[in-house]
């Protein structure tokens, strides 16, 4: 790869990153803020005021809302101008996803349409296909959907049984099979459908219109949450798909599916931020109204802990999502500048950042589950009542750990991709790890000698990376090709990697923000970082200990435990005061203000 490539996916484990290299929300320009305001105004006027109607799946309502979204241009943010869009950056599209992510079931329909419903055609379609479909999808005249999952093919997508056979006259592919959990299925006009041609071992992709003969739709699924989202099974009974509607090349479907899922994962990371901020607003506003023992419950330390922790996890996720988004924007531009096919080059950038996309999906969905769970808890019995919005938020959140590939699959993907890139020499993973292993026996006790706040935090994170690297090498040496079967170990290391990326992203954000707003203004942000790094250290210690004791014996056990003790040495933090500072600001402002 060209040495001028800005940064490779997963390279954060072995490369020093400066604050200047990342994007932070404090840098949104006026145009981006205007788009955010448009999204918020639409959400309040059209979505949040109609949640019961949406959840009841009132006929045509979601479809009408998507059309109105299209009239505002919010379906076309990242679509090129030649197809009726605005050609905005991924960062801008992610900001729209964040704001509209507070829209419960509507947010699911929006994300499906603008992501997996539209982008396969935009990035892999030929010019005729793009001209035919993208302008209509950009305006909301047509709605898109994505058909990959089957009853026997969920996480193992390539195990799908749907078949495509060329008709006798050579004009059509005849599709036969079944797809399930299809979002927007009740009203979508265009479907990207994955099937195997003849006896191919890998999938191909097809553009299927709702009016094509041979499509049968099951009734709406009854779901725990996102009740307003249309979800149906679709049956293909000799469905006639014109041969010109083959999307991409024959056998390219699996690659299309994977790369589109990378994109969907990072967008989910943005969606959950908006949902989390809304849940925090509901939580603090209730805490500022509810009295017990003759005082507001927001005055209680136990409640302040919950409020602060909601803020910390949301702020950290936000920091990581926009860092990854900027890296992706840079990678997209690099690939386009050095490639020949803009669509495929864009998707190659997402493939390059498969690790970060998976991290954002897992970290973000787990963050939102925590936030909505504590929102219900702060509401007490009222939180269990459907009269309160936190009840809907709690139910709707749960799907995110399953969407876009389960969190378990994504955790395995993180470590597997890191190791594969190390083996290929794309990241100097094993060389760096061996250097660290060699230095461990001679390590001496002693903490950071720096007095600079960010240098200290940077040294902590650098040590966390060293520990992750030696664990990756040690387990690779121990298990070699059988490592894929050690899923408990892989999950532990994946969690460590995610904590490192999140913590470093937050540190870089605050460091950059201080250069904009000054240290005094960002004092609360330092409290957020202090608590997160301190807590992450304990979590990493447990994860690393569990990993080490699961496989290591003798000399390597002693080396790893010594490294663990050295690399996880951090100064204590008054977490009570730090969390109270964070909670007091939230309580004072009565809404998320970080």
Cite the active site residues: 404
Instruction: Read off the tokens for 555.
Output: 């000399």
Site of tokens 């999906």: 361
Number of residues written out for the chain: 594
DSSP-assigned states of every residue in 148-169: --BTTBSSSGGG---EEEE-TT
The CA dihedral of 436, 440, 445, 449, to the nearest 10 degrees, is -10
Q: Whole-angstrom Cα distance, residue 21 to residue 299?
A: 40
From CA 101, how far away is CA 78, in angstroms rounded? Answer: 17
3-class DSSP state of 415: helix
On the 0-12 / 13-18 / 19+ scale of CB atoms within 10 A, 301 is exposed
CB-based contact 509:323 (threshold 8 Å): yes
Burial annotation 168-180 (CB, 10 A radius, 16+ → b, else e):
eeeebbbbbbbbb
* Rounded distance between C-alpha atoms, residue 449 and residue 562, angstroms: 20
Q: If you write DSSP's letter for every residue of 155-216 in order, what string do you get?
A: SSGGG---EEEE-TTSSEEEEEEEEEEEETTTT-SEEEEEEEETT-SS-EEEEEETTSTTEE
What's the CA angle centered on 524, arms 522 and 526, to 5 degrees? 75
8: its two tokens = 């490779």
């Amino acid at each position: 790869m060209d040495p001028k490539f800005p940064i490779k996916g997963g390279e954060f484990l072995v490369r020093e990153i400066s604050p200047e290299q990342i994007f932070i929300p404090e840098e949104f320009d006026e145009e981006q803020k205007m788009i955010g305001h448009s999204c918020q105004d639409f959400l309040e006027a059209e979505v949040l005021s109609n949640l019961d109607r949406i959840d009841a799946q009132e006929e045509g309502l979601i479809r009408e809302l998507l059309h109105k979204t299209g009239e505002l241009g919010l379906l076309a943010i990242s679509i090129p101008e030649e197809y009726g869009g605005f050609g905005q950056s991924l960062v801008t599209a992610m900001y729209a996803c964040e704001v509209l992510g507070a829209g419960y079931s509507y947010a699911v329909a929006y994300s499906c349409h603008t992501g997996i419903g539209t982008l396969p055609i935009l990035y892999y379609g030929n010019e005729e296909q793009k001209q035919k479909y993208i302008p209509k999808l950009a305006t909301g005249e047509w709605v898109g959907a994505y058909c990959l999952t089957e009853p026997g093919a969920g996480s193992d997508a390539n195990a799908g049984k749907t078949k495509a056979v060329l008709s006798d006259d050579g004009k059509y592919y005849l599709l036969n099979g079944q797809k399930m959990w299809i979002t927007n299925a009740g009203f979508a006009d265009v479907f990207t459908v994955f099937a195997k041609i003849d006896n191919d071992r890998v999938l191909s992709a097809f553009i299927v219109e709702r009016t094509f003969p041979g499509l049968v739709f099951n009734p709406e699924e009854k779901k725990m949450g996102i009740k307003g989202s249309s979800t149906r099974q679709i049956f293909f009974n000799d469905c006639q798909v014109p041969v010109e509607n083959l999307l991409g090349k024959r056998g390219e479907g699996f690659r299309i599916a994977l790369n589109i899922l990378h994109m969907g994962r990072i967008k989910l990371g943005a969606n959950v931020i908006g949902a989390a901020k809304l849940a925090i607003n509901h939580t603090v506003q209730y805490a500022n109204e509810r009295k017990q023992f003759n005082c507001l419950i927001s005055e209680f330390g136990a409640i302040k802990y919950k409020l602060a922790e909601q803020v910390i996890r949301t702020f950290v996720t936000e920091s990581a999502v926009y860092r990854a988004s900027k890296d992706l924007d840079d990678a997209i531009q690099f690939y386009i500048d050095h490639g020949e096919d803009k669509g495929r080059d864009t998707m190659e950038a997402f493939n390059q950042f498969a690790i970060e996309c998976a991290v954002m999906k897992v970290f973000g969905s787990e963050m939102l589950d925590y936030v909505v769970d504590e929102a219900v808890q702060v509401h007490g019995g009222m939180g269990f009542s459907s009269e309160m919005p936190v009840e809907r938020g709690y139910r709707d959140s749960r799907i995110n750990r399953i969407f876009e590939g389960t969190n378990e699959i994504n955790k395995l993907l993180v470590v597997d991709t890191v190791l594969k890139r190390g083996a290929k020499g794309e990241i100097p993973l094993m060389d760096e790890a061996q250097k660290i292993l060699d230095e461990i026996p001679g390590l001496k006790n002693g903490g950071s000698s720096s007095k600079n706040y960010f240098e200290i935090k940077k040294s902590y994170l650098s040590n966390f990376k060293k520990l992750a690297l030696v664990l990756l090498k040690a387990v690779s040496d121990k298990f070699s090709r059988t490592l894929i079967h050690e899923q408990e170990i892989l999950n532990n290391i994946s969690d460590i990697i995610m904590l490192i990326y999140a913590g470093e992203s937050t540190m870089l954000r605050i460091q950059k923000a201080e250069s904009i707003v000054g240290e005094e203004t960002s004092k609360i942000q330092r409290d957020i970082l202090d608590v997160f790094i301190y807590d992450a250290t304990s979590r990493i210690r447990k994860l690393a200990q569990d990993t080490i004791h699961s496989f290591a014996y003798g000399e390597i056990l002693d080396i790893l435990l010594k490294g663990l003790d050295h690399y996880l040495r951090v100064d204590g933090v008054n977490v009570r005061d730090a969390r109270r500072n964070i909670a007091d600001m939230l309580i004072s402002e009565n809404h998320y203000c970080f």
